Chains A and B, each alone.
Chain A
Amino acid sequence: MSLLQVSGLHTRYETNDGVLRAVDGVSFAIEAGETVGLVGESGCGKSTLGKTLVGLVPASEGEVTFDGAEISHLSPAALKPVRRRLQMIFQDPFGSLNPRQSIGQILTAPLAVHGVRSAAERRAQALAMVRRVGLPDDTLQRFPHEFSGGQRQRIGVARALILAPQLVVCDEPVSALDLSIQAQILNLLVEMKSELDLAYLFVSHDLSVVRYFADRVLVMYLGRIVESATYDTIWSRPRHPYTRALMEAVPDPLRRRTAAPLSGDLPSARNVPSGCRFHPRCPFATDLCRSADPALRSVEPGHEVACHHAEAIFAAAGATPPGAATVH
């Protein structure tokens, strides 16, 4: 049985301009100890999906089963024991820490909520965690503004892990950090994963980070998963034109390209295009794509794609990684 099983999940926001379908029918699973990367552009619904899984945003429809129990429609009280095992690390290490709480308060609060009665014990656990994430001992007495961005993200990691969860949703955990700090945090996440046997859902817009960090990759476009495969398959044999375009767009200093790969913007999730939602930006779109919504289907073991023409496009472009061959 999978640690997390998501089926037919929808998350909708009511807005003045109509219903925004942020997550529009998503199904996938995460195994214990597995790292799943979730990539897509801003507005594709990846952050909303992460927040829906941990219960920060209510699901509109569908099921989320965590460790055998359905959790998507629980009351906050009923969700409390689940939260201990299902945690989240946020993108902005500045905005996600209360500036008026000391790091000691920030780290001991979850322990108090989850029944560690002795204050001395809470303190000891917090100190051990602070040391574990590579911060000095006096961290507990200090406040968030006294730390740099990288240090604050270490505090964010410590807060998420102090309850020893099984699954951590990481929402763009290194995007706000300088390059020289990103590697430090990624390495820390890897170390903590092997020590605590964690599973991660790693949400990011940066395919190259996901490729390094994930066992399996989900590519999301406008509320849907359009491709799912292991990290080496997605890189060597991407099937969906959107996945290929995303790869093309990654600025790579060792590859000097000349043209912008993907035209247009992500359409609004209030007004999802007919048929395949990617068709207005897709260079391969046909009448079929404009009328019929492609389902996620298996093209080889462990590799699923939602594209009517995946085989034809793949045959035409060959197994050559994007960048070597231009598919547009």
Chain B
Amino acid sequence: MATTLLEVENLTVRFPRLAAVQDLSFSVGVGETLAIVGESGSGKSITALALMRLVPPPGRITGGSIRFDGRELTALPDAAMRKVRGAEIAMIFQEPMTSLNPVLTIGRQIGETVRLHEGVSRRIARARAIELLDLVRIPEPHRRVDDYPHQLSGGMRQRVMIAMAVICRPKLLIADEPTTALDVTIQAQVLALLDNLRRELSMGLLLITHDLGIVGQWADRVVVMYASRKVEEGSPDAILDAPWHPYTQGLMAASPRHAGDLHYRRTPLVEIPGSITSAFGETGCPFVPRCALAEARCREVVPPPLSLGDHLVACVRHDPFKEAADVALAG
């Protein structure tokens, strides 16, 4: 594996009445794409904000460490953290329209950010903006630079956000649901752009998504989160072809995308009953209220993560090491 760029260990983020992220550990290598997959309420977006030290109050990081490029971010003074943000870790969000100022041209907005970081003249900033628009494959950048956000399509706006994010050539780009608001045809274009940029600029890419469908193509590794915890981690092949956690298995089975030749007239979709809110107040495994395989011991303690090779799962019913040993003995 590539050199580690970001190492998160036992990260916990608390709000007064709930823990949004608990005991979360993962790492991102230089130039690597890690996908964090989860539904709303899984804690994936709060994790992204925690990495930037931007957890909205009253929430705060109450435990764990975030080591980034040799520094401990949780202990960094605010002034030093401000220098990391944007310059070394950049972030893009789901809805580019709300992140752009509607009354300023995109050239002006990109230029201001360039000037802030590089202290150059307006003329040079404008030239840099055109260069950046070209970098994110916006056609006719010298003309587009004078457009206002409303004159651009959703996909083009997201490209502008990406251009602003890579101004300083960050070492890590966090993309929080970058394509959720876009059409499938445009999604593929934006994801391909992110993938090319991480290669060209050797960025680590943290791709936060609810869509298991995109991880196979675009991620090197996948972390599955459920109700504030990591429940499974592995290569896309392991997660998609042979998931271990009942939640991941359920997600794969519930999606019409993976239903192959199924049709409603013949076969109902497999459902995961209930909703993620049922995890609230659960002392054992957070998935217990929705799990068809739950046993009494699942309710007792939070299952510790167990791994075999680079595939990790947090489920008491599943000890991958023991199972592999059994298979080896039987064979």
Neighbouring B residues of A74 by C-beta, 8 Å: none
Give the shortest distance, in Å, between A198 (CB) and chain B (any CB): 12
CB 8 Å contact bits of A134-166 with B (1 = contact, 0 = none): 000000000000001111000000000000000
A220–B104 Cα distance when bound, in Å, is 34
Q: How many residues of A sit at the interface, in one of the four size bands?
A: 35 or more
A-B contact number at CB 8 A: 136
Inter-chain contact A252/B216, CB cutoff 8 Å: yes
Pairwise interchain contact B40-A178, C-beta atoms closer than 8 A: yes
**Among A179, A182, A260, A266: residue with most chain B CB under 10 A:** A179
Please pick, from A184, A187, A215, A251, the residue contacting B187 in the complex, using a CB distance under 8 A. A251
Asked whether, in the complex, the Cβ of A250 is within 8 Å of the Cβ of B257, the reply is yes
Q: Is A291 an interface residue (CB 8 A)?
A: no
Among B211, B264, B269, the residue within 8 A (CB) of A251 is B211
Within 8 Å CB of B99, what residues of A?
A: none
The chain B residue sitting closest to A40, CB to CB, is B183
A179 vs B217: C-alpha distance when bound (angstroms):
19
Chain B residues whose C-beta falls within 8 Å of the C-beta of A266 in the assembled complex:
153, 183
Q: Does B270 contact A (CB under 8 A)?
A: yes
A85 in the interface, Cβ–Cβ < 8 Å?
no
B269 touches A205 (CB 8 A): no
Mark out the residues of chain A between 30 and 62 whose CB falls within 8 Å of any chain B CB in the assembled complex. 35, 41-42
Interface flags for A230-261 (1: CB within 8 Å of B; 0: not) read 01100000000000011011111111111111
Q: Does A180 contact B (CB under 8 A)?
A: yes
Q: Is B272 an interface residue (CB 8 A)?
A: yes
B residues near A248, Cβ cutoff 8 Å: 188
CB pair B236–A42 under 8 Å, yes or no, is no
**Does the CB pair B276–A246 fall under 8 Å?**
no
Binds B, one of A3-11, A64-72, A206-214: A206-214
Contacting residue for B189 out of A182, A251, A263, CB 8 A: A263
> Contacts A208-B256, A212-B264: A246 and B240 contacting too (C-beta < 8 A)?
no
B216 partner, pick from A151, A211, A250, A254, beta carbons under 8 A: A254
Q: Please measure, in the bound complex, the distance between the C-alpha atom of A245 and the C-alpha atom of B262, giving whole angstroms.
A: 22
B264 touches A213 (CB 8 A): yes
Q: Given A213-B256, A265-B156 in contact, is the A150-B275 Cβ separation under 8 Å?
A: yes
User: How far, in whole Å, are A151 and B275 apart by their CA atoms in the complex?
Assistant: 9
Given A181, A186, A187, which contacts B275 in the complex, CB threshold below 8 Å?
A: A181
Identify which of B154, B186, B213, B269 contacts A253 (C-beta below 8 A).
B213
Q: List 15 A-B contacts (CB under 8 A).
A: A41-B184, A148-B277, A179-B254, A181-B275, A183-B255, A187-B268, A187-B271, A211-B256, A248-B188, A249-B187, A253-B213, A253-B216, A253-B257, A256-B236, A257-B217
Hey, which bits of chain B sit against chain A, CB under 8 A?
A: 39-40, 153-156, 183-189, 191-192, 210-217, 236, 240-241, 250-252, 254-259, 262-265, 268-273, 275-277, 290
